[in-house]
Amino acid sequence: MKKLVFLVLICVFAGVGIGWTFVHVAVFDMGDHTAENEPLEEKEQNLITEEPITISFCGDVLLGGKVGGKIKQEGSDYPYKYVRDIFLEDDVTIVNLENAVGDTGSPEDKQYVFRARYDHVKALKENGVDLVSLANNHAMDFGRSNLETGLEFLQELDLPSIGAGFNEAEAFEPAILEVKGKKIAVFGVTHVLPTVDWYARENQSGLAQGYNINPLISRIHTIRQAVDYVFVYFHWGKEREDFPLEKQRKLAYRLIDEGQVDLILGSHPHCLQGFEFYHDQLIAYSMGNFVFTHGRQSKTADTGIMKLTIQEDDLNYHFMPAVIRDYRPHIVENEEKERIIDKLNHLSFNARIDDEGKIYKIEAAADTN
């Protein structure tokens, strides 16, 4: 069973200093605790190691449109049949929720608008999802009032969200996850919005824009020393493109250089893109779709779960390939697994995935893209 504590951070400005109260993280002394003649089994009992933290990251989850119709027919748990156990066994599961929430509001004037029923969103939590990013180009498809009622519903559901809020400060506020003695800050921002009117402002609800990342970096600085890790879920890029734009790579480098971000996870292109290590920090440029429709292009059906394991300050990543069939992800093995891993290795920069799914850094790789 997952055990998480979400801390609400409140920043007070206007000349008043920001105060933080946190539990001190335990330091494990791995020195010699035993005499040389102490029995081996007693020595082993005295060796204390951190319990590993496991986090699952997934791409775009769409619960409206055709997917919503399928869920209505099959039941709210339908999308998660083949991943539910994974989500329930890990410590944290994070997805991008690519639709408006609830039954309020009017559709915006745009090509595609998506809205999910309350009970379909509730099933996310029931199937092991712990945190959703709303920083995307569909969270406000049914207007500002719908966003606000959706935020209220998620709060009542006790399903934390990032990247949206009743004002700019809330939209840029991270979720702080306290997991097994570690504090992890997760931010959500979007570089893909149909209009600047969707921006969260000082006195206006909306989304955390990622076109100018100075506000994001500023907020990271206010909490960086109070947490162990900082992750950013970034909605960005060009749809159905295999490689990130050069400006995305520069944005990622800035977040790592100036914000000391430990991991950047991307979404929006609706297909998988590769991995890159920058100063040993991982950038996953696009996790693709996860629960979604898919057209004739098979690459929009390729997906997966990126699993992060944290133990004794080591961050290790594995990728579990999957394919979307009938709108829901199926974990794949054998030829399909090998095909997706080979593709990601072709799309990655200085990173590779081995046969077991481990993502690792290679010291030298020619960037030909």
Query: For the domain that residue 275 is a member of, what is the CATH number?
Result: 3.60.21.10
The CB density around residue 360, as the number of other CB atoms within 10 Å, is 13
Give the pLDDT confidence score for residue 2 in this predicted structure.
59
* 150-191 pLDDT, tens digit each: 999 999 999 999 999 999 999 999 999 999 999 999 999 999
Residue 140 near residue 99 (C-beta atoms within 8 A): no
The CB density around residue 69, as the number of other CB atoms within 10 Å, is 11
> Does residue 237 form part of some domain?
yes
Three-class SS state of 260? coil
What total of structural domains would you count in the chain? 1
- Return the exposure string of 263-290: e unless at least 16 CB atoms fall within 10 Å of the residue's CB, then b: bbbbbbbbbbbbbbbbeebbbbbbbbbb
> Does residue 236 form part of some domain?
yes
Residue 152 near residue 134 (C-beta atoms within 8 A): no
pLDDT (tens place) for every residue of the chain, 369 residues total: 554 544 444 343 333 333 333 332 322 222 333 334 444 444 344 444 679 999 999 999 999 999 999 999 999 999 999 999 999 999 999 999 999 999 999 999 999 999 999 999 999 999 999 999 999 999 999 999 999 999 999 999 999 999 999 999 999 999 999 999 999 999 999 999 999 999 999 999 999 999 999 999 999 999 999 999 999 999 999 999 999 999 999 999 999 999 999 999 999 999 999 999 999 999 999 999 999 997 666 799 999 999 999 999 899 999 999 999 999 999 999 999 999 999 999 999 999 999 999 999 998 644 444
> Does residue 34 form part of some domain?
no
Closest CA to 164 of 237, 101, 254: 101
Strands 100-101 vs 115-116: parallel, antiparallel or unpaired: parallel
Residue 231 near residue 263 (C-beta atoms within 8 A): yes
Give the pLDDT confidence score for residue 248 in this predicted structure.
97
Closest CA to 87 of 322, 260, 367, 363: 322
Residue 312, domain extent: 5-9+53-361
Q: What are phi and psi of 87, to 5 degrees?
A: -65, -40
Tokens coding 116: 């999910």
Give the pLDDT confidence score for residue 8 in this predicted structure.
42
Three-class SS state of 320? strand
Give the pLDDT confidence score for residue 296 in this predicted structure.
60
> Does residue 72 form part of some domain?
yes
Q: What are phi and psi of 307, to 5 degrees?
A: -105, 125
Give the pLDDT confidence score for residue 297 in this predicted structure.
62
> Does residue 174 form part of some domain?
yes
| Residues in CB range of 303: below 8 A, 6 or more apart | 58, 59, 272, 287, 288, 289, 290, 321, 322, 323, 324, 329
CA-to-CA distance for 7 and 36, rounded, in angstroms? 44
> Does residue 16 form part of some domain?
no
> Does residue 97 form part of some domain?
yes
> Does residue 38 form part of some domain?
no
Can you spell out the DSSP letters for 162-217?
Answer: ESEESSHHHHTPPEEEEETTEEEEEEEEES--S-GGGB-BTTB-EE-B-SS-HHHH
Q: pTM for the whole thing?
A: 0.86
Calculate the dihedral angle through the C-alpha atoms of 238, 240, 245, 249, rounding to the nearest 10 degrees: 100
